[in-house]
Structure 1
Amino acid sequence: MWRVVAYTLPRAKVPRSRVCCLQPAQKGRSLLAGTTAPLVHATQSLSMNLGIQKVEALDTGHFVRVEWEDGSESRYPCVWLRDNCQCPQCFLRSAKARRLLIEDLDVNIVVKEVAVADRRKISITWPDEHASEYEAEWLKKRCFSEEARAEMRENLFLPECQHWGSDLQLPKLPFEEVMYNDESTYKWLCTLKRVGIVLLTGAAARQGELVKLGHRIGFLRLTFYGPTWQVQDKADANNVAYTTGKLCFHTDYPVLQHPPGVQFLHCIKQTAAGGESQVVDGFHVSRMLKKQNPQAYQILTSTAVDYTDIGVDFCDFAVQCKQRIIDVDSRGEAVRINYNNATRDTVFDIPAEKVRPFYAALKEFDDLLNSAEHKFTYKLKPGRKCEEAELCRLLDSHHRLAAKLPIQKRASEPEPAVPPGSLQPLVPSGNFIIRKGDSKMGTGVPSPK
């Protein structure tokens, strides 16, 4: 989803004259029908009007050096240039897809001839006489310098992440604006990607609003709890979320091989007392742990933890999965949190002597999650949809963790009727909370594991 947003919306803001409601999905039709944003990815700050001053082969033909008119230069490996030949024989332009097979690629290939054509492209002749041409703009965007690669990452993946603690200023947007205004939808998605949690206000306190919101930007993922689910206190609950007790900070569904990335929580009816929700920025806490205790961080980023979930709901299910508590990228930075104490299995597939150090590291991480300076507490009103990038609370589920405080009910209070997909103690009626699921963790809110 983020890739589509990165390609489409950052390039051109939607003029107010072109703002419209998205039409029902049609085959071959862009999701963002009615916008003027082109479906291309470009690097804006790089000057795309630079001409080519000079081109030459280096390292006995294994590299091509391009000197630009502004005096800068770029180096391109010949094997990469041959792999990305743009001619019709090697590249299907209608699909923007490569035709050349790796089995036909010589990884030791060198250029036979290379020349500048009209200062706007280079032409290469390969040893087998195959000819390739590369536009200056195309080459400039794909420069291998650290600066150019960093800029391309920014354009493709919107990596900016805002860390926060108890001082979080919860982002809020009107539900109706997000539903019918493309600019507001774009703002919502970018905020969700950056902060990990968004509150949508003014939604009707009735069933179906959550599904409408999901269809606004994509599709809802079917799980063994159904396409949406109802969260309330149940006898013989098959999930600790379906109880009135406190839930510790957790991310949802670490038992799945691919945990969901966004969670929508819609409150239809709220309890009079208790049921407050808490969220914490898992990426922020991970950075704190890495700084405070590098060894604990190393343990949690390298130890595969067993998760299990067995029961009957939308269907019979019995699933197992191994996840590291903190997933990291090639630079050692956290990219996803997989932590749910309720579904952590009794089976632990590591040597016995490594068990206690793991628990010590996990305890330190959990203590940081529960630190007053890191957790943000709120209570939703009926009708709110809070988005944090996951499913109902609009939470970014990969790095925001959620929790809930105990719910207090009067002895005579009947069970509230909550529609599937709602987290009743989470959001006040008419409000949505949405969270991104990579790093935001929460407590205090009944939600599926």
Structure 2
Amino acid sequence: MTATETAAETAAAGTGRTRTPRPTALSAVWLRDNCGCAECRDPGTGQKLFQITDLPDSLAIASAEQRTEAGRDGSGSGDGSDSSEGWDVVWSPDGHRSHYDAAWLAAAAQPDPRAEDGKELWPFAEDLDGRLPETSWDAYRSDDRERLRMLDAVRSLGFCLLRGVPLEDGQVQQVALSFGFVRETNYGLQFEVRVEEQPNNLAFTNVAITPHTDNPYRDPVPTLQLLHCLVNDALGGDSGLVDGFAVAARLREQDPEAFAVLTTTPVEFAFRDAVTELSAHRPLIDVDAEGRIREVRFNNRSLGTLRLPAARTDAFYRAYRAFAELLLAPEAQLEFRLGPGDCLIFDNTRLLHARTAFERGGARHLQGCYADLDALLSTVAVLRRTHEEQN
């Protein structure tokens, strides 16, 4: 540490300021790659103007001076600001100058919003007693804070419930368009969940549907599903949700061998009808490079034929059964009834959904569509940023 750095840190400590990481304690190439000055990033888009190969091979910090007062001239920052508290860095061997904002340097690494550590898990239905994420359609449309609260609940808890959505054909697509875009599939832009005379899927019958994720035979799978209830006068036909991430985490804790098998064994999921033939080979539990749960695919109706050596096949089925026993346990399932005007939005890569059987002669009609998490997460980020700027 240089004398300048030591003096600056001592002064900051004396004023009670939050200490930020010293540039010299960080990766030099990472720090330089994140320079936000106008030479390195386009001021309009914030996108980089250089390739990693343009940086000097012998890159090093020549000097680093802590800025303790905003307003002093600078040459840019990690977040694009050039007049904030933080560190002024001069680079060797090219003499390039950078400024790194203190808040940017101090910020902890943000969790991947798609992985388990970016979620609030609920392994049992009772974990959500008295705190269902719900609001009225009017409040959702008229109040950006309420819209943010609901959409952020999809990110954190995996779902939200909008009440009083107009009973109009195609309204489910309008809900999807309120935060993103409709994902078209072989079922169309939207699909009708009701009893059909010649169904191509058990969802379009009156039989019970056990907890599952939709479209596991697609890659990429639709990451969000919306279901809008128009009529539900039938005896039965209640809905259920299970937190697949939370249950997978329980499996990892209770039976690490089974968890390892299910994260490393690709299985075929398949769907076929007269005009469609789809398949995807993915594990039931998908993890990222750090081993964090990032996706669950579970659908006994779409699971194809496993073709592995007998020992691996037996290991898979033992692990599959262990996972299924946890997923299908009654205490894991949050049960509720959708009434006319209710619209459920949920994360199809995390939550399993279910339905009890209902009387075939009873009226039950839901309209559904698919959407994608990236658009929802974008809307959440913009709404949050706007809210912070206004406060």
Partner of 1:301: 263
In the TM superposition, 1:281-300 aligns within 5 A as: 281-300=243-262
Give, in whole Å, the separation in 2 of the partners of 1:355 and 1:156: 30
Which of 402, 405, 412 is the aligned partner of 2:353?
Answer: 402
Q: Kindly provide the CA deviation profile for residues 32-60 of structure 1, in whole angstroms up to 9, marking residues without a partner as x.
A: xxxxxxxxxxxxxxxxxxxx98349xxxx
Pair 419,194 (structure 1): closer, same or farther in 2 beyond 3 Å: closer
Structure 2, unaligned stretches of length 5 or more?
Answer: 14-18, 69-84, 375-391
Partner of 2:325: 367
Q: Kindly provide the CA deviation profile for residues 140-196 of structure 1, in whole angstroms up to 9, marking residues without a partner as x.
A: 5235xxxx434x449999924141423233332111111222111011112222222
Pair 420,87 (structure 1): closer, same or farther in 2 beyond 3 Å: same
In the TM superposition, 1:43-442 aligns within 5 A as: 54-55=4-5, 67=9, 69-71=11-13, 72=19, 73-74=21-22, 75-111=25-61, 113-116=62-65, 119=68, 120=85, 121-127=87-93, 129-137=94-102, 140-143=103-106, 148-150=107-109, 152-153=110-111, 159-167=118-126, 168-169=128-129, 170-312=132-274, 316-346=275-305, 348-386=306-344, 394-410=345-361, 418=365, 420-421=367-368
Residue 302 of structure 2 aligns with an amino acid whose one-letter code is T
Pair 86,287 (structure 1): closer, same or farther in 2 beyond 3 Å: closer
Residue 142 of structure 1 aligns with an amino acid whose one-letter code is L
SS of aligned partner of 2:97: strand
TM-score computed with the length of structure 1 as normaliser = 0.69
Give, in whole Å, the separation in 2 of the partners of 1:308 and 1:223: 15
Give, in whole Å, the separation in 1 of the partners of 2:228 and 2:314: 40
SS of aligned partner of 1:220: coil
SS of aligned partner of 1:198: strand
Give, in whole Å, the separation in 2 of the partners of 1:383 and 1:125: 61
Q: Comparing both structures, which one devotes a greater share of its residues to helix? A: 2
Give, in whole Å, the separation in 1 of the partners of 2:341 and 2:44: 45
Give, in whole Å, the separation in 2 of the partners of 1:183 and 1:328: 32
Give, in whole Å, the separation in 2 of the partners of 1:269 and 1:78: 61
Residue 253 of structure 2 aligns with an amino acid whose one-letter code is K
Give, in whole Å, the separation in 1 of the partners of 2:237 and 2:369: 14
Pair 197,84 (structure 1): closer, same or farther in 2 beyond 3 Å: closer
SS of aligned partner of 2:334: strand
Residue 12 of structure 2 aligns with an amino acid whose one-letter code is D
Pair 155,345 (structure 1): closer, same or farther in 2 beyond 3 Å: closer
Pair 133,156 (structure 1): closer, same or farther in 2 beyond 3 Å: farther
More deviation, 220-229/270-279? 270-279
Give, in whole Å, the separation in 2 of the partners of 1:321 and 1:365: 20
Cα distance, 1:232 vs structure 2: 1.7
Cα distance, 1:245 vs structure 2: 1.6
Q: Comparing both structures, which one devotes a greater share of its residues to strand? A: 1
Give, in whole Å, the separation in 2 of the partners of 1:263 and 1:397: 6
Give, in whole Å, the separation in 2 of the partners of 1:306 and 1:381: 36
TM-score computed with the length of structure 2 as normaliser = 0.78
Cα distance, 1:323 vs structure 2: 1.4
Whether the 8 Å CA contact 1:327–1:334 is kept in 2: the answer is yes
Give, in whole Å, the separation in 2 of the partners of 1:298 and 1:78: 36
SS of aligned partner of 2:294: strand
Q: Kindly provide the CA deviation profile for residues 288-342 of structure 1, in whole angstroms up to 9, marking residues without a partner as x.
A: 2112111111111111111112235xxx432221111112234433222111111
Residue 315 of structure 2 aligns with an amino acid whose one-letter code is P
Residue 183 of structure 1 aligns with an amino acid whose one-letter code is R
Give, in whole Å, the separation in 2 of the partners of 1:284 and 1:90: 42
SS of aligned partner of 2:318: helix
Give, in whole Å, the separation in 2 of the partners of 1:176 and 1:323: 40
Structure 1, unaligned stretches of length 5 or more?
Answer: 1-51, 57-65, 387-393, 424-433, 438-449
Give, in whole Å, the separation in 2 of the partners of 1:359 and 1:399: 21
Whether the 8 Å CA contact 2:194–2:366 is kept in 1: the answer is no
Whether the 8 Å CA contact 1:282–1:401 is kept in 2: the answer is yes
Residue 334 of structure 1 aligns with an amino acid whose one-letter code is I
